[in-house]
Structure 1
Amino acid sequence: MPDLFSDLDNNPESLGPGTWLFRGYALDVADELLQAIGRVAEQSPFRRMKTPGGRQMSAAMTGCGARNWVTDRQGYRYSELDPETGRPWPTMPPLLTQLAGDAAARAGYPGFEPDVCLVNCYQPGARMGLHQDRDEQDFRWPVVSVSLGLPAVFLWGELRRRGSPARLLLEHGDVLVWGGEDRLRYHGIAPVAHGRCEATGHVRYNLTFRRAC
């Protein structure tokens, strides 16, 4: 497929030995990505899942791909079926697959073919606590994260839960890729501030691509 994404003059920012931030990388296809999110949500609506401890998450979630990450009283895991609908998750649109693979390759992870795209929807005040992405079977593959809509402060911690994480502002169209030595670093999102984005209104979306199996 052709290269559809922004080839910006500014160099990507390194956040660690295996982590790269591509500012504005998805801007050229942002509208198409938002349309794809809408189609996914029509089949598998957004919902606020509960943790095994019974706490309701503040960000609403849906997803697409062969499987997706879910959480409930039974624990954290990947499921091939949407527990809300009982049906398979929507097929991942080719544009999303291409975006994730292209960004991963530019970050030094060629051959990345995600089977998971977790879509988070953040209203103002929603957050994501520090956590590791460790429910996948093979940590050789990176995580690719695409920010759309309202800006958010990304919390970038260490391999152990200690100290204060670094704080990094992510804006509409930014793409962050981490893997290798950084694959299991703790990360999260600080409470999203009130604001308005021309593309999404008072909402932030995040696309997180992973290889679960």
Structure 2
Amino acid sequence: MQADLFGEPVATGPAAPAGFRYWPDLLSEDEQARVVRALQALSFKPYEHLGYLGNRRIAAFGRRYDLARQALEAAEPWPAFLQELLGQLTDRAGLPAEDFVQALVNEYQPGAGIGWHRDRPVYGRILGVSLLSPCIMRLRQKRGAGWTRAGAPLAPGSAYLLSGEVRRDWEHSITPMTALRYSITFRTLACLTP
């Protein structure tokens, strides 16, 4: 199914899970190019998960989650362009920008993806922006001995929201990339999310 910017989400497979929203064209091509130029100036670090290096690089702003300590800690201050992008996104989604405490930028080189996971329970709503290369966000929920699955194609310049049931009860993953892709993930704290 396909929807307009303010309508229901686009998803493949079963109906989109409750709490998933998708905007296929949040950013114009010119806006995407401006954001990508700003992203390319950031200082990225290899993603590390409990001593293992992942196949992507990240830059965290506001807050970051320390896996070893299992605690939130301060990260670099938000760059102005991320504040502006968050404002544009929260205006479209009808959410308060001040609730978002983290911006995480992921750089996916060709071949990089991200396996099945649920974001840390300390976080609440998740707003994401996808840039440069299209990808598929896969969604799955455990049902008895099997899984209920859905998929959402994320176009360059698109955005999505994970909240409620899909945030709490579903896992998500990103298929391996064939070209460079950036994602920007904005998160609230669970204690601030109704």
TM > 0.5 fold call: yes
**Identical residues among aligned pairs (%):** 26
Distance (Å, rounded) in 1 between the aligned partners of 2:115 and 2:42: 25
Deviation at 1:70, TM superposition (A): 4.5
TM-score by length of 1: 0.71
Letter in 2 for 1:134: R
Match of 2:13 in 1: none
- Compared with structure 1, are the counterparts of its residues 178 and 36 closer, same or farther at alpha carbon in structure 2 (3 Å cutoff)? same
SS of the residue corresponding to residue 145 of structure 1 reads strand
RMSD: 2.8
Deviation at 1:209, TM superposition (A): 0.3
Letter in 1 for 2:72: Y
Higher strand content, 1 or 2: 2
- Compared with structure 1, are the counterparts of its residues 178 and 37 closer, same or farther at alpha carbon in structure 2 (3 Å cutoff)? same
Match of 1:117 in 2: 103
Distance (Å, rounded) in 2 between the aligned partners of 1:135 and 1:160: 21
Letter in 1 for 2:31: V
Match of 2:154 in 1: 170
Q: Which ranges in structure 1 are unaligned for 5 or more consecutive residues?
A: 1-7, 82-88, 195-201
Distance (Å, rounded) in 1 between the aligned partners of 2:94 and 2:165: 13
Match of 1:61 in 2: 58
Match of 1:16 in 2: 17
Q: CA offsets, 1:75-105, max 9 Å, x none?
A: 6543214xxxxxxx1x213342343344345
8 Å CA contact retained: 1:101, 1:113: no
Match of 1:3 in 2: none
Higher helix content, 1 or 2: 2
Match of 1:47 in 2: 46
SS of the residue corresponding to residue 42 of structure 2 reads helix
Deviates more, 1:16-25 or 1:102-111: 102-111
Alignment length, in residue pairs? Answer: 179
Deviation at 1:158, TM superposition (A): 2.3
Distance (Å, rounded) in 1 between the aligned partners of 2:180 and 2:66: 22
Letter in 2 for 1:152: C
Correspondence 1:1-213 to 2 at 5 A: 11-14=6-9, 15-27=16-28, 28-41=30-43, 45-49=44-48, 51-52=49-50, 54-64=51-61, 66-71=62-67, 74=68, 77-81=71-75, 89=76, 91-136=77-122, 139=124, 142-158=125-141, 162-163=146-147, 165-184=149-168, 185-192=170-177, 194=178, 202-212=179-189
Distance (Å, rounded) in 2 between the aligned partners of 1:160 and 1:211: 28
Deviation at 1:164, TM superposition (A): 5.6
Letter in 1 for 2:184: L
Q: Runs of 4 or more off by more than 4 Å in structure 1?
A: 8-11, 159-162
Distance (Å, rounded) in 2 between the aligned partners of 1:36 and 1:30: 10
8 Å CA contact retained: 1:36, 1:93: no
Distance (Å, rounded) in 2 between the aligned partners of 1:130 and 1:152: 15
Distance (Å, rounded) in 1 between the aligned partners of 2:97 and 2:5: 24
8 Å CA contact retained: 1:157, 1:164: yes
